[in-house]
Chains A and B, each alone.
Chain A
Amino acid sequence: MNPSHKLYWLIGGVVVLLVVASAIGRILRVRVKDDNAAAVVDNLNARVRAWWSMVAIFAAAFLLGRNATIAMFALISFFALREFLTLTPTKIGDHRALSVAFFVLIPVQYLLIATNWYGLFSIFIPVYGFLFLPSISVLAHDTEHFLERSAKIQWGLMIAVYCISHVPALLLLQIPGYAGETPLLMFYLILVVQMSDVLQYVFGKLFGRTKIAPVVSPSKTVEGFVGGAASATLIGAAMWWITPFTPLQSAGMAFAIVLMGFLGGLVLSAVKRSLGAKDWGSMIEGHGGVMDRMDSVSFAAPIFFHATRYFFT
């Protein structure tokens, strides 16, 4: 099978999965009686509906090719940063720095991927963004909360732009014997992260008893995490045939992705709460905002990228 045939099969597989999920949602909706359970099922169905749209957008971008995929992630970063900064208190003195972040840093970061400039891609935001954004803000001569404001803007950029851009950056990797197949690696990463999130949710709803971090993220349970992490790792191992890894290596990679995704969900939930919000936004029905869906991806992507780059190129 060549890479694009594999991609068709994978997208077909996801569609089958969604059909099954939609059918289960329908059946549950008819069978539940009390109001509490009905609310859970309605939310579940809203989430599944939103998944149909998300899968459609991703599939379209993947099928349109490399530049479309990079552009789609640039847009995701744009929406994610917008959600982050909407909740972050900034002042009029940050106005120019914020404009630069949105209209210069996001396009440049993704153009660096499109033009294969790995060296600058990997330091652009941590070095140049880090030094020059506060330099722009300082020109407004406002010292009130200056450190907090600069730090929060940089944090938002690191998560929403730098970390998320490591998903399409997988296209840059030159893995021996895997030429032309890097889009599949991207598919693998997103599939494992999202399946892990979904399965943790499902296991948590079915068997969840013991809360892991009730203050930070009340819906996360030990049972949900163990069940979800184990099954997502198994799914990752079973998908070895679309990666440059052996089945065992693939299990290890999937486990690293699952673990980082879990930590990302936890850390960003704490950030969200410290900013006084329950959801990042309301763009995706049933899920919340774009950041609510990308929190685990943002932590998993850079680690997966560098682990693959270090061991396989």
Chain B
Amino acid sequence: MWLSYVLIGSVRALLGATPRWVGSKPEQRQRIYFANHTSHIDTVAIWSALTPDLRAKTRTAAAADYWGSSALKRTIALKALNAVLIDRKRTDPQADPLGPLHEVLDAGQSVIIFPEGTRQPQPLPGAFKSGLYHLAQRFPDVELIPVYLDNLHRSMPKGTYLPVPLICTVRFGAPLPRIPEEDKSAFLERARTAVIELAK
């Protein structure tokens, strides 16, 4: 869609959003990319850093209560970014909020998620919610790629509406190894550390 080219073009012109593949390569594999979350541009930044063929098979998780709240945001999320809306507020207590992501992964596509669940004021990620753990359990063969978004917290921090042009980089790390019978909190802490390691 033309709007996605406009978004990607403006993010590249303003912020660079250059990819740095530190521990993995831009290969056509099924992956869960998980990143720190500091600004509304994060999704577009990772999106622009992926190669077009990877982008075509990668969908991003977006909060339904924010991205579904107006027709414009909905169009941007669904049409331009090919996002999957996640009901993080659990409006229907019976439904699994991760359900839409299961469908995407079952179909063989990759996903981008922000395991903190919401934007943080500081660059390093806070505690991860359990969504990443459940996805990792359910899809043991999918690669888990940590991603660190550098400088986006300065470019458009929470509470601001205009990005300041600063050079932002998107670092993709090595796949997170699977450890059998690791408990939830240890796994989530290890995943968070993997993102923090990329910040150094």
A78 to B159, CA, bound (A): 24
- Max chain A CB contacts within 10 Å: which of B18, B121, B160, B165? B165
Please determine whether B167 and A281 come into contact, CB atoms closer than 8 angstroms.
Answer: yes
- The residue of chain B having its C-beta at the shortest distance from the C-beta of A83 within the complex is B167
Chain A 67-107 against B: per-residue CB contact (8 Å), 1 yes, 0 no? 00000000000100011011000101001001100110000
Please determine whether B154 and A82 come into contact, CB atoms closer than 8 angstroms.
Answer: no
For B18, the chain A residues whose CB sits under 8 A away are 282
For A78, the chain B residues whose CB sits under 8 A away are 165
Please determine whether A95 and B160 come into contact, CB atoms closer than 8 angstroms.
Answer: yes
Please determine whether B160 and A86 come into contact, CB atoms closer than 8 angstroms.
Answer: no
A130 to B87, CA, bound (A): 47
Least Cβ distance of A10 to chain B in Å? 31
Chain B: residues with Cβ within 8 Å of the partner, total of 12
The B interface, classified by DSSP as helix, strand, loop or mixed, is loop
Please determine whether A86 and B166 come into contact, CB atoms closer than 8 angstroms.
Answer: yes
Using a CB–CB cutoff of 8 Å, the interface residues on chain B facing chain A are 18, 121, 151, 154, 157, 159-160, 162, 164-167
For A90, the chain B residues whose CB sits under 8 A away are 154
For A85, the chain B residues whose CB sits under 8 A away are 164, 166
Least Cβ distance of A97 to chain B in Å? 9
Least Cβ distance of A192 to chain B in Å? 30
For A83, the chain B residues whose CB sits under 8 A away are 167
Our pick among B121, B151, B159, B164 for the contact of A98 (Cβ within 8 Å) is B164
Least Cβ distance of B79 to chain A in Å? 27
A98 to B162, CA, bound (A): 10
Least Cβ distance of A74 to chain B in Å? 13
- The residue of chain B having its C-beta at the shortest distance from the C-beta of A282 within the complex is B18
